[in-house]
Amino acid sequence: MIPGLQAIRLQELRALAAPRVWSIEGNLEELASLTPVRGSISAEHQGNVLEVKGKVSTIVTLCCDRCLNEFNQNLAFDTDELIWLEDNAEETNNSTGVSMLNGIDNLVECIDPLGSFDPERWVFEQLSLQLPVVNHCGEDCPGPPLAKKKQPNQILEHEPQNEAPIDPRWAALRKLNSS
């Protein structure tokens, strides 16, 4: 948990005459990052909406989906969001307290006006949206390791007998290759 990023009741935000600003520097429990999460966010109660703005960045280590090598990925966002404050939203997700109104014209995130806003959760969600769908280490990715099919009783030159064990994630593929 990042110090100072505790949830705040929306009624407290409403009582403030100015936006509440949080300076962020620390690590999120739900997102393993190489560097601390740094930036700032602000939240302002504007009657029936909560305006949240933020600029945050960090670096995470990902595993390439092709070659299985690790690589570092910069995650950053500079965004603002309006969150509708609705006390009787139609579909409420009880685990997060977030609601979605029905209808194509009403695709709006809602929270209970008597509830609270969790800035750490909001930062986590925004950073998670920046994660790539396909992890690819770059143009120089070597791709999956190439393996030559062995003939019975033949030892390939590139396979020393005392070779380190192959990554277990490739074991099923190796079985297919040897048959």
Residue 96 CA to residue 149 CA, distance in Å, equals 52
Q: Which of 5, 84, 85, 13 is nearest to 45 (CA)?
A: 13
Residues of the domain holding 98: 8-128
How much is the pTM? Answer: 0.70
Q: Which of 40, 38, 26 is nearest to 119 (CA)?
A: 40
In a domain, 166, yes or no: no
In a domain, 168, yes or no: no
Q: Is the pLDDT of residue 128 over 50?
A: yes
In a domain, 135, yes or no: no
In a domain, 27, yes or no: yes
pLDDT tens column, 137-177? 988 888 886 655 555 555 555 555 555 666 777 777 777 87
In a domain, 46, yes or no: yes
In a domain, 54, yes or no: yes
pLDDT for 36: 94
